[in-house]
């Protein structure tokens, strides 16, 4: 028995095969398949054949594929406005953060450091240096605060960096206490992060961090041997100190208040499992697999050549598969770079990660104040300046107004050039909605803020990761898919 | 879907009636020393024989056989069948012109549903309340009249149809009146959402400034044509989704409702993804089991799907939405059919007077928290019912 006579059967509601394409891009995923994305990052993986039929209309597509293309807003019927409305809404959601402008303000409290890391990306000063020369002064800190509070963002995040930031704890205290007062009267939400190697940690600092709910971000490069070789410290006890301090932070401030970053050196590449195990041992639930960036000391000392992007991608892939394994065994561990990208792939949001923004995230997503009051568009730009490339120095808090700094000609020009949709190659790349442009990187490596993406390590690294993640989302077992999907942040 | 509590008193009998008009509503009281000045609008419910002096002046008197009816000349008096023994103080009743008793509102039931029209602009395959083409303005008029009699602490009123928004200005008037008399009562409107393509109409609704008003709007699939087929209206999907966007633009609360049936039972995960991506801002999503009544009963072969066959799909869909911070509820599903991971989403939703249980349920430890079955969904008991 079918439907009652008064009803129309489903044949009366066929999927419309007369479609129009919405703005899309496609890129080969592997030999057989392509990834298609639309402007807001919805994606679908189809065979080469289906892509041909879709574009040339040489063969009819089957209904289930058509339906999926419609519901992902890759095609539409050419008449109804709804797909355009929804796409517009999602586009606005993706770039909503732009209206807040700079929310992340990084403050370099000192250049002094007790470590002598080979790869240190900043021209550090050793401990014996004269404080007055390389520490931020209270006067400069006040001017920095003035600038931070000029930012239109309602939620402000201040991140203290170094050198070893805690060596100038007085200025951290000064900034936090004053920021609290201003936030109260101006109705802003504050969040503080201290990036530190944790060796100067003491009870006073712990108490203070606890009181103001401050987040601690530290460096953990892997097990004892690797960590201490990457990050030498007089006494060879860096690893021991770090691990002990991580525990203290957990018990005094809270387990959610500590995170660790690793920097990959050429040496690290053979130790993916050991590095990850070290994170697990320390009860950390997130790891950020970062490549070595081509800045500061890393470039001048030639470490960048120790391994190339290809090798790093292999390392990333191996690490990721071990991380997934660990999750399957019941220990939740997120890889943060994947999490940022999966959020872009699977949700309507964008977390605003500096390196993956178009227009560029430099200055817009974050801005950095050096110990001497110099303002840079990004942390990397500051490092560039240390080796003589001062293009992205936007001004100095002691000499320039907010308007002069934010209106810096070279910066504005770079931002204008940094729209990925107008960059050669990016404009045709399916991964554009997930990617970004990194003018500071490309100026450093190619002497051009846009850069030739064929030669770009940034592009190669990201394409590799995009393809890896999308392939995993397509081909892996259900459990793996769930784990990856659960990393997306809605 | 929704239900006016409409019971005819076959076994009840009229003892005496003088002044009952079609528009007469009574609020019930069991208090026979009620202030005399108010009595005319009240029906006195007499559950045990009156002792002492006869309480005069009530608009009507409701007896049961056991409460020893007293016949007083010139007074509206009824003897009710025993199945009316649920009636209680603050319920509201009405006598129709052919002297049937309608229970319009029950204080102890929530939500009370107002079926304000039987007309509809869709024709859904599984409609439990098949629409009619009639002029039935009197329905909403009746509710407009009755609103002042309802208890001020009424927690929730559901407004259903038909398609309530078809009433246009009358619908807005209904919301206004509800807000004036029952400002603390939550309102839940069941609508197919198509009328909300008209933002002017929403602006009128928004003007009522009701702070606790939610629209329950069906979305059956992420595939336009599938949704259109289920509601039997080409273009419905586009209108409904646009209506949802418009409602949210006016800061109205929206619940998406998806009745799971054979045509859409394989779409749940993709629907969830579509919602997470495009409509993440809705206030909640409800997945509902099929009630085999009305059209659903006639079309049952095309619509029935064993819940055990879509449980995996449902579980994944719920996970997807929860991950996207969308609140999910599951209605009309027996606990023994749901995987344990879904229990916390399950809501006991079948109105008590519609709930029934199977033999198996009598030995089940979860009976008290299980939704049970639609007594109206006759004969359609899903596979796999098993005491827990
Ligand atoms: S940088 Fe490379 S991966 Fe990124 S959008 Fe451009 S071409 Fe695509
Ligand atoms: S056996 Fe009956 S009461 Fe128990 S869970 Fe199943 S339907 Fe509910």
Whether A87 and A122 map to the same domain: the answer is: no
pLDDT band at residue A308 under the 50/70/90 scheme: confident
User: Which is more confidently placed, B30 or A229?
Assistant: B30
- What's the whole-number mean pLDDT along residues A257-273? 89
Interface of B with A in 212-251 (CB under 8 A): 222-226, 228-229, 232, 234, 238, 241-242, 245
**What's the N-to-C CA distance of chain A in angstroms?**
45
ipTM: 0.89
Who lines ligand 2 at CB under 6 A? B 334-336, 357-358, 360-361, 364, 366-367, 370, 385, 387-388
Chain A residues near residue B319 by CB distance under 8 angstroms: 482
Does residue A70 belong to the interface with chain B, where contact is any CB pair within 8 Å? Answer: yes
Contact A1 B295 (CB under 8 A): no
pLDDT band at residue A5 under the 50/70/90 scheme: confident
Instruction: Give the integer Cα–Cα distance in Å for A147 and A102.
Output: 11
Judge whether A440 lies within some domain: no
Which segment of A61-75, A88-102, A318-332 scores lowest on mean pLDDT?
Answer: A88-102
From the list B123, B276, B278, which residue is nearest A490 (CB)? Answer: B276
- Choose from A1-5, A376-380, A469-473, B376-380 the range with maximum mean pLDDT: A469-473
Contact A15 B302 (CB under 8 A): no
Whether A212 and A232 map to the same domain: the answer is: yes
Ligand 2 pocket mutation, candidates B337, B359, B360, criterion most atoms within 8 A of CB:
B360
Judge whether A393 lies within some domain: no
Does residue A350 belong to the interface with chain B, where contact is any CB pair within 8 Å? Answer: no
Taking residue A236's Cβ as centre, other Cβ atoms within 10 Å add up to: 11
B162: left (phi over 0), alpha (psi -120 to 50) or beta: left
Domain count, chain A: 2
Ligand 1 pocket mutation, candidates A428, A461, A462, criterion most atoms within 8 A of CB:
A462
**Which residue in B has a C-alpha nearest to residue A1's C-alpha?**
B301
pLDDT tens profile B46-84: 998 888 888 988 988 888 888 888 877 777 888 888 878
- What's the whole-number mean pLDDT along residues A51-55? 96
pLDDT tens profile B123-147: 999 988 888 888 888 889 989 999 9
Whether A189 and A302 map to the same domain: the answer is: yes
Whether A85 and A197 map to the same domain: the answer is: no
Instruction: Give the integer Cα–Cα distance in Å for B120 and B192.
Output: 9
Contact B274 A347 (CB under 8 A): no
B27: β partners: B42, B92
A450 CB under 6 A from ligand 1? no
**pLDDT at residue B6 greater than cutoff 70:** no
Q: Which ligand is nearest to the CA of A433?
A: 1
Instruction: Give the integer Cα–Cα distance in Å for A96 and B91.
Output: 51
Does residue B321 belong to the interface with chain A, where contact is any CB pair within 8 Å? Answer: no
Whether A135 and A282 map to the same domain: the answer is: yes
- What's the whole-number mean pLDDT along residues A18-40? 96
Atom 6 of ligand 1: nearest residue by CA position:
A426
User: Which is more confidently placed, B184 or A298?
Assistant: B184
H/E run at residue A134? helix A131-134
Judge whether A424 lies within some domain: no
Which segment of A232-246, A359-373, B35-49, B339-353 scores lowest on mean pLDDT?
Answer: B339-353
Contact B278 A86 (CB under 8 A): yes
Judge whether A423 lies within some domain: no
Does residue A43 belong to the interface with chain B, where contact is any CB pair within 8 Å? Answer: no
8 A C-beta contact, residue A307 and residue A269:
yes
pLDDT tens profile A207-237: 999 999 999 999 999 999 999 888 888 888 8
- pLDDT reported for residue A304: 46
Dihedral of CA atoms A220, A224, A228, A233 in degrees, nearest 10, equals 90
From the list A7, A71, A85, which residue is nearest B274 (CB)? Answer: A71
Q: Kindly give the number of the ligand 2 atom that is closest to the alpha carbon of B364.
A: 4
Chain B residues near residue A16 by CB distance under 8 angstroms: 225
**How remote is the CA of residue B347 from the centroid of ligand 2, in Å?**
14
- pLDDT reported for residue B3: 25
**pLDDT at residue B5 greater than cutoff 50:** no
Distance, CA of B275 to chain centre = 25
Judge whether A450 lies within some domain: no
Chain B residues near residue A7 by CB distance under 8 angstroms: 123, 125, 232, 295, 299
8 A C-beta contact, residue A339 and residue A415:
no
Q: Which ligand is nearest to the CA of B369?
A: 2
Does residue A98 belong to the interface with chain B, where contact is any CB pair within 8 Å? Answer: no
Judge whether A72 lies within some domain: yes
From the list B125, B223, B276, which residue is nearest A71 (CB)? Answer: B223
Vertex A270: Cα angle to A269 and A275 (nearest 5): 80
- What's the whole-number mean pLDDT along residues A127-144? 86
**How remote is the CA of residue A289 from the centroid of ligand 1, in Å?**
20
- pLDDT reported for residue B9: 43
Q: Which ligand is nearest to the CA of B372?
A: 2
Stated pTM of the model = 0.90
Helices marked H in B256-369: 268-278, 295-298, 300-303, 307-323
Q: Which ligand is nearest to the CA of A37?
A: 1
Whether A85 and A40 map to the same domain: the answer is: yes
CATH number at residue A156: 3.20.20.70
- pLDDT reported for residue B10: 46
- What's the whole-number mean pLDDT along residues A327-347? 97
8 A C-beta contact, residue B28 and residue B80:
no
Judge whether A349 lies within some domain: no
H/E run at residue A104? strand A104-108
Chain B residues near residue A347 by CB distance under 8 angstroms: 276-277, 324
- Among A94, A113, A146, identify where a domain stops: A94
Whether A109 and A88 map to the same domain: the answer is: no
Candidates B229, B230, B235, B245: best to mutate against A (most CBs of A within 10 A) is: B229
Helices marked H in chain B: 137-146, 169-181, 199-207, 224-231, 236-249, 268-278, 295-298, 300-303, 307-323
Whether A233 and A149 map to the same domain: the answer is: yes
- Among A275, A307, A339, identify where a domain stops: A307
Whether A142 and A171 map to the same domain: the answer is: yes
pLDDT tens profile B194-245: 999 999 999 999 999 998 999 999 999 999 999 999 999 999 999 999 999 9
Contact B225 A67 (CB under 8 A): yes
Whether A198 and A235 map to the same domain: the answer is: yes
- pLDDT reported for residue B353: 63
Q: Of A322, A296, A291, A290, nearest to A308 (Cα)? A: A291
- pLDDT reported for residue A201: 94
Q: Is the dihedral of CA B188, B192, B198, B199 positive or negative?
A: positive
Closest Cα in chain A, distance from residue B301 (Å): 7
Instruction: Give the integer Cα–Cα distance in Å for B275 and B256.
Output: 9
Domain containing residue A144: 101-307
Judge whether A442 lies within some domain: no
Contact A82 B325 (CB under 8 A): no
Which segment of A334-338, B151-155, B280-284, B367-371 scores lowest on mean pLDDT?
Answer: B367-371
**How remote is the CA of residue A74 from the centroid of ligand 2, in Å?**
44
Whether A126 and A228 map to the same domain: the answer is: yes
Contact B223 A482 (CB under 8 A): no
8 A C-beta contact, residue A411 and residue A360:
no
Does residue B199 belong to the interface with chain A, where contact is any CB pair within 8 Å? Answer: no
A226 CB under 6 A from ligand 1? no
Instruction: Give the integer Cα–Cα distance in Å for A102 and A99.
Output: 9
pLDDT tens profile A88-115: 999 999 888 888 889 999 999 999 988 8
Closest Cα in chain A, distance from residue B252 (Å): 17
pLDDT band at residue B380 under the 50/70/90 scheme: confident
Does residue A71 belong to the interface with chain B, where contact is any CB pair within 8 Å? Answer: yes
Whether A89 and A105 map to the same domain: the answer is: no
Contact A86 B241 (CB under 8 A): yes
pLDDT band at residue A305 under the 50/70/90 scheme: very low
Chain B residues near residue A488 by CB distance under 8 angstroms: 323
- Among A289, A307, A325, identify where a domain stops: A307
Does residue B47 belong to the interface with chain A, where contact is any CB pair within 8 Å? Answer: no
**pLDDT at residue B17 greater than cutoff 90:** no
- What's the whole-number mean pLDDT along residues A322-331? 97
């Amino acid at each position: 028995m079918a439907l009652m006579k008064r009803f129309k059967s489903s044949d009366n509601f066929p999927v419309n095969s007369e479609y129009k394409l919405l703005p899309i891009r496609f890129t080969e995923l592997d030999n057989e398949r392509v990834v298609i994305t639309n402007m807001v990052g919805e994606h679908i993986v189809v065979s080469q054949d289906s892509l041909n039929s879709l574009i040339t209309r040489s063969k009819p597509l089957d209904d289930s594929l058509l339906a999926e293309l419609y519901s992902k807003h890759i095609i539409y019927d050419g008449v109804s406005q709804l797909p355009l409305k929804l796409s517009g809404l999602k586009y606005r959601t993706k770039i909503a953060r732009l209206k807040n402008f700079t929310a992340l303000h990084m403050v370099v409290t000192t250049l002094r450091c007790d470590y002598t890391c080979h790869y240190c990306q900043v021209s550090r000063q050793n401990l014996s240096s004269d404080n007055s020369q390389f520490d931020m002064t209270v006067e400069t800190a006040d001017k920095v605060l003035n600038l931070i509070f000029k930012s239109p963002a309602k939620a402000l995040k201040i991140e203290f960096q170094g050198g070893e930031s805690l060596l100038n704890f007085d200025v951290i205290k000064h900034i936090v206490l004053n920021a609290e007062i201003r936030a109260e009267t101006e109705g802003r939400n504050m969040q503080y992060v201290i990036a530190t190697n944790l060796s100067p940690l003491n009870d006073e600092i712990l108490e203070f961090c606890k009181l103001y709910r401050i987040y601690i971000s530290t460096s953990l490069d892997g097990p004892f041997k690797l960590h201490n070789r990457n990050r030498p410290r007089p006494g060879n006890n860096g690893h021991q100190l770090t691990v002990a301090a991580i525990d203290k932070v957990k018990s005094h401030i809270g387990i959610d208040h500590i995170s660790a970053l690793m920097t990959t050196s050429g040496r690290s590449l053979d130790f993916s499992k050991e590095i990850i195990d070290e994170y697990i041992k320390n009860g950390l639930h997130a790891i950020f697999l970062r490549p070595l960036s081509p800045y500061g000391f890393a470039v001048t000392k030639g470490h960048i050549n120790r391994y190339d992007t290809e090798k790093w991608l292999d390392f990333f892939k191996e690490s990721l598969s071990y991380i997934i394994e660990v999750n399957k065994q019941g220990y939740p561990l997120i890889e943060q770079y994947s999490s940022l990208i999966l959020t872009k792939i699977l949700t309507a949001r964008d977390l605003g990660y500096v390196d993956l923004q178009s227009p560029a995230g430099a200055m817009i997503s974050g801005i950095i104040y050096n110990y001497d009051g110099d303002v840079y568009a990004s942390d990397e730009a500051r490092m560039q300046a240390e080796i003589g490339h001062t293009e992205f120095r936007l001004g100095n808090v002691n000499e320039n107004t907010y308007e002069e700094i934010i209106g810096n000609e070279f910066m504005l020009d770079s931002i204008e050039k940094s729209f990925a949709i107008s960059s050669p190659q990016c404009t045709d790349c399916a991964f554009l909605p997930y990617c970004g442009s990194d003018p500071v990187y490309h100026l450093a490596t190619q002497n051009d803020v846009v850069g030739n993406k064929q030669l770009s390590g940034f592009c190669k690294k990201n394409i590799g990761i995009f393809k890896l993640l999308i392939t995993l989302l397509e081909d892996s077992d259900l459990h793996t898919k769930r784990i990856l999907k659960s990393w997306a942040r809605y | 879907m929704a239900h006016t509590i409409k019971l005819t008193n076959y076994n009840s009998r009229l003892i005496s009636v003088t002044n009952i008009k079609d528009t007469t509503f009574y609020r019930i009281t069991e208090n026979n020393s009620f202030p005399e000045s108010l009595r005319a609008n009240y029906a006195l419910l007499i559950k045990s024989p009156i002792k002492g002096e006869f309480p005069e002046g009530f608009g009507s008197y409701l007896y049961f056989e056991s409460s020893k009816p007293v016949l007083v000349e010139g007074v509206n008096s009824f003897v009710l069948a025993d199945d009316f023994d649920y009636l209680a103080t603050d319920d509201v009743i009405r006598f129709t012109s052919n002297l049937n008793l309608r229970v319009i509102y029950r204080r102890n039931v929530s939500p009370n549903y107002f079926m304000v029209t039987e007309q509809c602009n869709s024709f859904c395959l599984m409609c439990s309340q098949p629409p009619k083409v009639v002029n039935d303005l009197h329905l909403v008029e009746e509710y407009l009249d009755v609103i002042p009699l309802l208890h001020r602490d009424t927690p929730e009123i559901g407004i259903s149809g038909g398609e309530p928004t078809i009433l246009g200005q009358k619908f807005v008037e209904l919301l206004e009146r509800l807000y004036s008399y029952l400002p603390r009562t939550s309102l839940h409107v069941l609508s197919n959402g198509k009328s909300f393509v008209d933002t002017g109409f929403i602006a009128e609704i928004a003007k009522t400034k009701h702070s606790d008003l939610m629209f329950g709007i069906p979305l059956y699939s992420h595939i336009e044509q599938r949704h259109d087929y289920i509601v039997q209206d080409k273009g419905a999907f586009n209108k409904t989704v646009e209506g949802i966007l418009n409602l949210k633009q006016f800061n109205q609360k929206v619940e998406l409702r998806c009745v799971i049936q054979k045509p859409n039972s394989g779409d749940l995960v993709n629907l969830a993804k579509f919602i997470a991506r495009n409509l993440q801002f809705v206030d909640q999503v409800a997945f509902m089991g099929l009630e085999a009544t009305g059209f659903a009963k006639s079309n049952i072969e095309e619509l029935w799907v064993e819940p055990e066959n879509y449980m995996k799909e449902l579980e994944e869909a719920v996970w997807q939405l929860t991950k996207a911070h969308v609140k999910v509820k599951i209605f009309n599903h027996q606990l023994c059919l749901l995987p344990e991971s879904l229990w916390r989403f399950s809501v006991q939703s079948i109105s008590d007077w519609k709930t029934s249980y199977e033999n198996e349920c009598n030995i089940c430890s979860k009976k008290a928290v299980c939704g049970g079955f639609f007594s109206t969904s006759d004969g359609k008991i899903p596979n796999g019912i098993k005491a827990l």
